[in-house]
Amino acid sequence: MRVLPWVQGPTEEMRLDPRSHYAERFGLPVIGPSATWLLRHVADRFEDAPEGFDLDLDETARCLGVGVSTSRHAPLRRALARCVRFGLASRRDESTLAVTGRVPPVAPRHLMRLPIALQEEHRIWIQCAAEADADADRGLRLRRRARLVALDLRELGVEDSSIERHLLRRGVHPATAFEAARWAWSPESAADRPLTASG
- Domain residue spans in the chain? 2-99, 108-192
Would you give the end-to-end CA distance of the chain in angstroms? 48
pLDDT at residue 158, as a whole number: 84
Residue 145, pLDDT above cutoff 90: no
**Quick one: 14 exposed, middle or buried, by C-beta within 10 A (0-12, 13-18, 19+)?**
middle
User: What span, in angstroms and rounded, lies between the C-alpha atoms of 2 and 24?
Assistant: 25
| pTM (two decimals) | 0.67
Listed residue (138, 115, 111) closest to 126, CA to CA: 111
Residues sharing a CB contact under 8 Å with residue 12, sequence separation 6 or more, in sequence order: none
Please state, in angstroms and rounded to a whole number, the distance separating the CA atoms of residues 109 and 198: 44
- For residues 155-181, average pLDDT: 85
From residue 100, alpha-carbon distances to 4, 23, 104, 108 in Å are 9, 13, 10, 20
pLDDT at 188 over 70: no
Q: How high does pLDDT run on average in the chain?
A: 84
Statement: residue 85 has pLDDT above 90: yes
Q: How far apart are CA 34 and CA 77, in angstroms?
A: 10
Confidence of residue 190 (pLDDT cuts 50, 70, 90): low
- Residue 105 pLDDT > 70, yes or no? yes
- Reduce the DSSP state of residue 43 to 3 states and report it: helix
Distance CA 58, CA 53 (A): 15
User: Is the pLDDT assigned to residue 187 strictly greater than 80?
Assistant: no
b/e for 34-47, b at 16 or more Cβ within 10 A? bbbbbbbbbbebbe
Residue range 171-196: average pLDDT? 72
114 pLDDT exceeds 80?
yes
* Percent above pLDDT 70 for the chain: 85
Predicted local distance difference test score (pLDDT) of residue 196? 41
Q: Which residues pair with 90 in a beta bridge?
A: 98
Q: How far is Cα 178 from Cα 175, in angstroms, rounded to an integer?
A: 5
Rounded Cα gap, residues 90 and 81, in angstroms: 9
- How would residue 40 be classed by pLDDT, with cut points 50, 70 and 90? very high
Q: What is the mean pLDDT of residues 169-188?
A: 82
Place 198 in a pLDDT band, splitting at 50, 70 and 90. very low
